[in-house]
Structure 1
Amino acid sequence: MTISSSLNAGVAGLNANATRLATISDNIANSSTYGYKRSLAEFESMVISDSRGASTYAAGGVRASTVRLIEERGALVGTSNPLDLAVSGRGMLPVMPAVALGVDMGDVPLMMTTTGAFRADADGVLRTESGLVLLGWPANSDGEIPNFPRDSVSGLEPVVINVNQTAGDPTTRITLGTNLPATDTAAGASGDPRSRTIEYFGNLGTSESLDITFTPVVAATGYSNTWRMEIRDSASNDALIGEYELTFDDSRTSGGTLANVTTVSGGAYDLATGMIDLPVAGGAISLEIGKPGETNGLTQLSDSFAPTNITKDGSPVGNLAAVEVDSNGYILATYDTGFVRRIYQIPLIDVPNVNGLTTMDNQTYKVSPDSGSFFLWDAGDGPTGAISGYAREGSTTDVAAELTSLIQTQRAYSSNAKVIQTVDEMLQETTNIKR
């Protein structure tokens, strides 16, 4: 009966608008929730019959369906915590519930979120107040990230920051820029050696030194432009680890630069790079003395013995001072000696259909058949954006728009209620015909 279908359509309208009211209420309630993605109720008409030229019409009503707009991104809000993280662009941070700590990662479902305020707990595990633990790939001792599978969580592990940790950075490269007096190789010169000591740091953070002695070869007449360089290592009981004969150019175009380096003992001199691999006690150190014809290494000019450019990497043992995350997702530990060490990398998760993810509590999501399979990207690569520290992602709720929708929903609900009231009155009239 047509009048009965009108009643059903009115009830369907009440249900649909009640669903819309629920999404609006949820959106407004979470307007200040970091990382919240707003929900949207969409209405679809239901047609029972639509025969052309039919004398009667049966109302099918309306059906409501909801969708969470996960792909929408909220504005980034700056904070003072370096481990407040947000994703600027596509991609999500891998997390797991704190209650699953100690369980094999293969048995833990992958969860993801777009933002989180992470802090170290008593065990150094980075987690949020709601119990979400940040996951990442651990770095090797040299700071390199191994190759982990990109379509599996097997390489991920909880990020642990030990605030009491100490670390040293062994020296692996030294640049030696020094000017040797040209007058020391002249006929009649004293031939006294010139020496220089360069500190370096061993594998255990100890302070060691290279004692470098330059002895001029005095010419019988004119200038010999030749020196003998000896290098001794304090960590090897001052043993001689390298001896080289240096010849300098005296031409008008390249005067004072290296012309030739002859290895007497020790690591060989590389003509292409200007480097010598010195076999110190803890392992090889690359000593850069410059390439022939260049002025940024050893030179022989005028009558002064002076350093021009002496640099080295490495640092002594230091205490952890700060932890930050860069835009590529690398967690960097900074020590009070100035040494910066890469300890983890946070990948970003991406799926083909972001809106198809299953929504969980605490602004987290899980993979579903509708979302497609996940892939772990380096932040900034492929379709993913960058990771921002000192930032949180704000809610995507527009309160003004939601309040406008609230007014429309209220009016629509009242109109559907009026339809039911009218149908009731018409049925009452039908009943009165018999009286």
Structure 2
Amino acid sequence: MGISTSMNAGVSGLNANGNKLSTIADNIANSETYGYKRSDMDFSSMTVSAGGSSGVVGGGRAALAGGVSTNAIWNIAAKGALEGTSNSTDIAVSGRGMLPVTSLASYQANADDLDLMLTTTGSFHTDKDGYLTTSSGIVLLGWPADTEGNILPAARDTTASLEPVKINLSSVSAVPTENINMYANLPATDTGPDGTGTARMMTLEYFDSLGSAQNLTVSYTPTVADPQSNEWTMEIVDEKSGNSVGTYTITFSDATATAGQVASVVQVDGGAGAYTTSYDTSTGQLTMELNGQTIMVAIGSDSGGPQYLSQLSSSFSSKGVTHDGSPAGTYQGVTIDENGFIKASYSSGFSKVLYQVPLADVANLDGLSVLDNQCFAVSAASGSLYLWEPGDGPTGTVEGFALELSTTDIATELTDMIRTQRAYSSNAKIIQTVDEMLQETTNLKR
């Protein structure tokens, strides 16, 4: 009977619009929630089979009200605006991609089975144990770096290589020197007939394995000759011990195309005891072994490679000498760059890569399962997970000092609320009308 289905349709309409109002309420309640993705209610019509055309005049189809059903949807792919903050570990994703996270409580309960979740933003701080977590207990995941700060190759379709980001808050770091670029110009006139044979001196600083600053003294003694020899004897001495590290004869070119460049390097003495050196003609580097510490000193290639030392008709200059490494320093803080590298900074001014945070992507972002705390989980509808380095493939970049705002628009929600209220009232009117009609039918018996 059509009047009965009208009652059912009105009831389903009340239920559907009540559900719609719940999404509106949730959106408005989370309008200031960072990373919140607006939800909506999808309405679908329902039909009721009349069982054929029996009882319908003219053999037409019966008009039976089926009502409406609803299905909640989330626009997870939508991006909220980014808001700048003063916290270096407030993290947001600019563009496509999500940050891998997990529950700190679940990780501590079972570290061998990560309960992977995804989010687009988070206000992370180091807790008492050094984990980078939010106030709701969500911990950031990343690929760990080795002792040299290098991120090792990792599988991209699994979370097996991900670890909770943990910072050693009491760490003291020192990085021994591995490379020195020895820029200097030696006066060409010193190796001519008017040269005095006076040695030119310069000092090279390096840091040992304990972070202590040490010095190497380098002397360049010209070979005075007529015609000009373009030859120098270079000796490197470790000031700490006073021992010679190595002695070399360096000859510079006077040809038009390569004038002033290193032409040849001949080892005279490779050092003694714990001090040894060797020269690579292709790279122009001396390899020094100082009590077990290996340092590469770039002086210039005699085969067309990089040039550092020169001999030109100018004054002696040793400006521009550079080296890596750092002295011992205490932990000061942590930052994250656009490529997802988490770097710890130390009082020495040195920074070191500790982790890289990848960006996770799936084929259908809107198919992810919705969890608490603005987090999501991979589902059959979303497709499988793939981890990208930020900026690679379809993914965007990672932004520190930033949080993503909610995708809720208050004006839109208030407009929808008015429409939903009117629709709810109209469905209530249907039920009231059907009730009155049924009352009239009952009165026919009197």
Q: Same fold (TM over 0.5)?
A: yes
Instruction: Establish whether residue 421 from structure 1 lines up as the match of residue 421 from structure 2.
Output: no
Selected match of 1:93 from 99, 106, 126: 99
Structure 2 equivalent of residue 242 of structure 1: 246
Q: Tell me, yes or no, if the aligned pair for 2:126 and 2:167 is still in contact at 8 Å.
A: yes
- Please give the per-residue CA displacement for 1:380-431, whole angstroms capped at 9, x wherever unaligned: 2222211111111110111111111111111111111111111111111111
Instruction: Establish whether residue 390 from structure 1 lines up as the match of residue 394 from structure 2.
Output: no
Structure 1 equivalent of residue 108 of structure 2: 102
The alignment covers a number of residue pairs equal to: 433
Instruction: Establish whether residue 230 from structure 1 lines up as the match of residue 235 from structure 2.
Output: yes
Q: Secondary structure at the match of 1:402?
A: helix
- Please give the per-residue CA displacement for 1:163-196, whole angstroms capped at 9, x wherever unaligned: 3322112211111122223333233644232222
Selected match of 1:256 from 245, 249, 260: 260
Q: Tell me, yes or no, if the aligned pair for 2:107 and 2:114 is still in contact at 8 Å.
A: no
Percent sequence identity is 51
Distance of 1:294 and 1:22 partners within structure 2: 70
- Please give the per-residue CA displacement for 1:218-256, whole angstroms capped at 9, x wherever unaligned: 22x332221111112345x33322221111223455443
Tell me how far 1:54 sits from its aligned partner: 1.9
Structure 2 equivalent of residue 287 of structure 1: 297
Tell me how far 1:96 sits from its aligned partner: 1.6
Instruction: Establish whether residue 140 from structure 1 lines up as the match of residue 146 from structure 2.
Output: yes
Instruction: Establish whether residue 372 from structure 1 lines up as the match of residue 361 from structure 2.
Output: no
Distance of 1:105 and 1:257 partners within structure 2: 58
- The range that moved more, 391-400 or 189-198, is 189-198
Structure 1 equivalent of residue 5 of structure 2: 5
- Please give the per-residue CA displacement for 1:281-317, whole angstroms capped at 9, x wherever unaligned: 2432121112357995222233633214311122211
Going from structure 1 to structure 2, the CA distance change for 1:392 and 1:234 (only over 3 Å counts) comes to same
- Please give the per-residue CA displacement for 1:303-356, whole angstroms capped at 9, x wherever unaligned: 633214311122211122231101111101122222121001111222222222
Instruction: Establish whether residue 171 from structure 1 lines up as the match of residue 177 from structure 2.
Output: yes
**Runs of 5+ in structure 1 lacking a partner?**
none
Q: Tell me, yes or no, if the aligned pair for 1:347 and 1:377 is still in contact at 8 Å.
A: yes
Instruction: Establish whether residue 39 from structure 1 lines up as the match of residue 39 from structure 2.
Output: yes
Structure 1 equivalent of residue 80 of structure 2: 74
Q: Secondary structure at the match of 1:417?
A: helix
Instruction: Establish whether residue 310 from structure 1 lines up as the match of residue 315 from structure 2.
Output: no
Letter in 1 for 2:247: E
Distance of 1:56 and 1:154 partners within structure 2: 60
Distance of 1:412 and 1:247 partners within structure 2: 93
Q: Tell me, yes or no, if the aligned pair for 2:300 and 2:306 is still in contact at 8 Å.
A: yes
Going from structure 1 to structure 2, the CA distance change for 1:337 and 1:61 (only over 3 Å counts) comes to same
- The range that moved more, 202-211 or 325-334, is 202-211
Distance of 2:305 and 2:389 partners within structure 1: 39
Q: Secondary structure at the match of 1:6?
A: helix
- Please give the per-residue CA displacement for 1:105-158, whole angstroms capped at 9, x wherever unaligned: 443321121111000111111111111111112110000112233233222222
Selected match of 1:276 from 286, 292, 301: 286
- Please give the per-residue CA displacement for 1:31-82, whole angstroms capped at 9, x wherever unaligned: 1111111111011111113768526311111111111111111111111000
Distance of 2:306 and 2:145 partners within structure 1: 38
Q: Secondary structure at the match of 2:245?
A: strand
Structure 2 equivalent of residue 403 of structure 1: 414
Going from structure 1 to structure 2, the CA distance change for 1:108 and 1:311 (only over 3 Å counts) comes to closer
Q: Secondary structure at the match of 1:307?
A: coil
Q: Tell me, yes or no, if the aligned pair for 1:348 and 1:378 is still in contact at 8 Å.
A: yes
- The range that moved more, 57-66 or 349-358, is 349-358
* Aligned-CA RMSD value: 2.1
- The range that moved more, 157-166 or 288-297, is 288-297
Q: Secondary structure at the match of 2:265?
A: strand
Instruction: Establish whether residue 162 from structure 1 lines up as the match of residue 168 from structure 2.
Output: yes
Q: Secondary structure at the match of 1:102?
A: helix
Distance of 2:311 and 2:364 partners within structure 1: 66
Using structure 1 for the length normalisation, give the TM-score.
Answer: 0.93
Going from structure 1 to structure 2, the CA distance change for 1:56 and 1:197 (only over 3 Å counts) comes to closer
Distance of 2:349 and 2:222 partners within structure 1: 38
Instruction: Establish whether residue 84 from structure 1 lines up as the match of residue 90 from structure 2.
Output: yes
Instruction: Establish whether residue 211 from structure 1 lines up as the match of residue 217 from structure 2.
Output: yes
